[in-house]
Structure 1
Amino acid sequence: MKNWFKILFSSALLLGLQAASVQADDAKAPRLTVIELFTSQGCSSCPPADAALKSLRGRPGILTLSWPVDYWDRLGWEDTFAHPHNAVRQAAYNKRLGRGGVFTPQMILDGRIQCVGSKPEKVRMSIEKARAVERPVINPTLAEAPDGKLQLTLPAADVGDMVSVRVVWFLSDATVQIGDGENQGRSLHYTNVVRASDILMDWKGDAAMLTLDPADGLGAGADHVAILLQDDYGHGPIVGAVSAPLKQASTTVASAR
């Protein structure tokens, strides 16, 4: 049954992504759709959404991020990746989108659209809806400097009043043995797990360059970095994004506490 569910999920998502790809080609403007999943190791409804996020990773025009939340820790298992700031980010999204409270698994697309992450048709429709939104494309770039650090370049752009530049350090793959709670006894796989995040600057649209130290991400247990350009103090619509692997990175396997 699980394999059949994965086949249906992947097929539905593929159809949506093919349609989204055509729209992007028609617009002749490269852009990333950022899909953020708010999930928990203590939530029995989350594994299908975690698997869906894995199936989306690597698709053209898609950047996926998994933000583990801590509010299900009371069920008997403390999420090994959760951080209170992740739940704050989710709550800020929901408040702006007019929703009361929070839930898992929830996907937020481009900071504009939300859906239940475990429902294939909802995810497919949300991807199409997000890709159909007409917006200016801002393409930040990341390049390795001679000293091994990363150079972030922000092109001059009309961003209105201000856009927050957020750095996200994330781990591409991790497997966790769940020792208690609703998923007790299961071995669960996670992709693009956020390990640390912060606002680098408030950007007003002038051409700018920033230097990132990969050691900050590696020290947090990450092997990739993403930059999100986001309105409304970091919780509004995402207007630009880029990601890159970190050198010296290696896959980490997380074990139960």
Structure 2
Amino acid sequence: MAPRLFSCFRKHGDRADAGAHESSATADLTAEEMKRGGPVLVELFSSQGCATSPAAELVVSRLGRGDFQLEMPVVVLAFHVDYWDYMGWKDPYGSSQWTVRQKAYVESLGLDTMFTPQVVVQGKAHCVGNDENALVTAITEAPRFPAPSFQVCIASFQRSSPDCLQVSLTGALRMKVDSNGVNVMVALYESGLVNDCERGENRGRVLSNDYVVRKLEKLCNVKDISAKKTVSGTVNFPLWEGFNASKCGVALFVQNNSHQMFGSQSFQLPRDI
């Protein structure tokens, strides 16, 4: 099925320099060690208001479960955009924040349009989200970096209030970072979501979604540090009605201002928080 296209409201031919500041982080590792690096981050941009997105949601759900038996681990995140809400169905997980994130990739990848479903791999390559072969190829060919060695104690997953989750993390990026810096981002995602779609292009369908990003916060910005230096931080996630820790997880990723990824990790939430 063809992807749904949406204008990104940029002048034709106005391309961003995708190679700018790509040296923000480097690994003190050999090429072979890099090849055996950590997870590949896969981001799906999707919408319940797009007729072709449910097929892509199924693909990334299978990817996250390990159905494709890839040689490398993956961290999967699904960002639901809001620009299809006008079609008659307001995506309950859609956000203008995720639309802005997708626009940033449109610029950094030198594209002329936004579309759903779109998958971005390691911030460096993209494909149509329901094209399994293209997705597997993009993951297999993606640059890999050591997984950050962050740890989170059970006590650090705590409800600072009934409607807020506090997560404290400490570890090393395992990447040497120069003066351009990188951002350490933390996403709170939810799986096992099921909705009856009552209107729009998916009217009458039961929609299932996994790895849906509900909140995204910056842990810290890091500049001029060695690969082994310890980094610490705390993020606070406002929680939503019906929050269920058993369905949620936390993903940490390192990204520079050119949107390139330099490592990722994921953690499951304790069931009893």
TM bucket (normalised to shorter chain) is 0.7 to 0.9
CA distance in 1, matches of 2:197, 2:272: 25
Q: CA deviation at 1:145?
A: 4.6
Deviates more, 1:81-90 or 1:165-174: 165-174
Q: Counterpart in 1 of 2:175?
A: 157
Task: Name the CA shift for 1:136/1:62 in 2 (closer, same or farther; >3 Å).
Answer: closer
Q: CA deviation at 1:187?
A: 0.2
Specify every segment of 5 or more residues in structure 2 that has no aligned partner in the other structure, as ranges: 1-30, 67-71, 159-166
Q: Counterpart in 1 of 2:82?
A: 70
Q: Counterpart in 2 of 1:211?
A: 234
1:51-66 maps to which residues of 2 (within 5 A)? 51-59=58-66, 61-66=73-78
CA distance in 2, matches of 1:26, 1:208: 23
Task: Name the CA shift for 1:28/1:117 in 2 (closer, same or farther; >3 Å).
Answer: closer
Deviations 1:146-185 (A, max 9, x none): 4644442231631222010111010022011101000000
1:171-186 maps to which residues of 2 (within 5 A)? 171-186=190-205
Q: CA deviation at 1:66?
A: 0.5
Q: Counterpart in 1 of 2:148?
A: 139
Task: Name the CA shift for 1:50/1:56 in 2 (closer, same or farther; >3 Å).
Answer: same
Contact 2:187 2:217 in 1 (8 A): yes
| Pairing partner for 2:114 from 86, 97, 102 | 102
Q: Counterpart in 2 of 1:231?
A: 256
CA distance in 1, matches of 2:238, 2:122: 23
Q: CA deviation at 1:118?
A: 1.0
CA distance in 2, matches of 1:26, 1:198: 30
More helix by share: 1
CA distance in 1, matches of 2:39, 2:100: 24
1:177-196 maps to which residues of 2 (within 5 A)? 177-196=196-215
Query: Which amino acid letter does the alignment assign opposite residue 193 of structure 2?
Result: A
TM-score (norm 1): 0.78
Q: Counterpart in 1 of 2:137?
A: 125
CA distance in 2, matches of 1:201, 1:26: 27
Task: Name the CA shift for 1:178/1:111 in 2 (closer, same or farther; >3 Å).
Answer: same
CA distance in 2, matches of 1:199, 1:212: 7
Contact 1:167 1:226 in 2 (8 A): yes
Q: Counterpart in 2 of 1:111?
A: 123
Specify every segment of 5 or more residues in structure 1 that has no aligned partner in the other structure, as ranges: 1-23, 251-257
Query: Which amino acid letter does the alignment assign opposite residue 42 of structure 2?
Result: I
Across the aligned residues of Structure 1 and Structure 2, the Cα RMSD in angstroms comes to 2.4
Deviates more, 1:239-248 or 1:106-115: 239-248
Task: Name the CA shift for 1:188/1:146 in 2 (closer, same or farther; >3 Å).
Answer: closer
TM-score (norm 2): 0.73
- Give the structure, 1 or 2, with the largest relative contact order (CA under 8 Å, sep 6 or more): 2
1:32 aligns with 2:39: yes
Q: Secondary structure, in 3 states, of the residue corresponding to 2:151?
A: strand
More strand by share: 2
Q: CA deviation at 1:248?
A: 3.3
Q: Secondary structure, in 3 states, of the residue corresponding to 1:248?
A: coil
Contact 2:38 2:145 in 1 (8 A): no
CA distance in 2, matches of 1:114, 1:148: 33
CA distance in 1, matches of 2:137, 2:37: 20
Contact 2:183 2:220 in 1 (8 A): yes
Percent identity reads 30
CA distance in 2, matches of 1:146, 1:189: 32
